Amino acid sequence: MAGTFVYWMNVSLDLRIEHAAGESGGGDWLRIDESLHRVFNERARELVAMVQGRVVYETMEGFWPRAADDASAPEYLREYGRIWTSAPKVLVSRTRTEAGHNTRVIGSDAIERLAELRETSEGPIGIGGATIATQVLEANLLDELVLFTHPAILGAGRPLFDRMPEPLGLDLLEERACSQGVVLHRYAVRKQP
């Protein structure tokens, strides 16, 4: 049995992941509170590995290791910090050659190595970042989308995927209302021939 690549992301109703460049998972349009973060924690604990592009990884690396041990931070943030720091991770980068926090770095042959990771894993492997998610999609390796849809229309900004070579067929696996109007949608990706 092979692993499954799961791209999970906070999105607006018009499937934008950033309104302004450099929001890096932030932005006033997001409605992330303790209840929603506990859902993130629950999902992250289920992952057998995390694959992140450099931008997402460096955003996570800059915050979560410190949050894990920050006594002044709420417990649910410390928990996610511990989950992220200890989880096996793959950083896809052409510019970085090393990383800490249980992370291995892969570069120019990333898709071949990610295909091997998928074949040799059992369970969900989280994908973080539009660039790497687009590459995994184009290689026909993406299995699921987990979208935390926030009640906002951005009208512009970074889309969920950098490009779509073909229309993407999906099957709804799960729908769950979270807090503050955020809805989790989990989809299976229909495989392209």
The CATH number for 167's domain is: 3.40.430.10
Range of the domain at 150: 4-189
Q: Are 171 and 188 in contact (CB under 8 A)?
A: yes
DSSP conformation class of 192: P
Distance from C-alpha of 184 to C-alpha of 87, rounded to nearest angstrom: 23
pTM: 0.94
Q: Rounded to the nearest 10 degrees, how much is the dihedral formed by the CA atoms of 80, 83, 89, 94?
A: 30
- Rounded to a whole number, what is the distance in angstroms from the first to the last CA of the chain? 21
Burial class of residue 38, CB neighbours in 10 A (0-12, 13-18, 19+):
middle
C-alpha dist (Å) from residue 124 to 14, 42, 92, 111, 154: 26, 13, 18, 17, 30
How many structural domains compose the chain?
Answer: 1
**Closest to 19 (Cα-Cα) out of 31, 8, 33, 30:** 30
CB 188 within 8 A of CB 50: no
From first to last of the 193 residues of the chain, give the pLDDT tens digit.
789 999 999 999 999 999 988 777 778 999 999 999 999 999 999 999 999 999 899 999 999 999 999 999 999 999 999 999 999 999 999 999 999 999 999 998 999 999 999 999 999 999 999 999 999 999 999 999 999 999 999 999 999 999 987 899 999 999 999 999 999 999 999 987 6
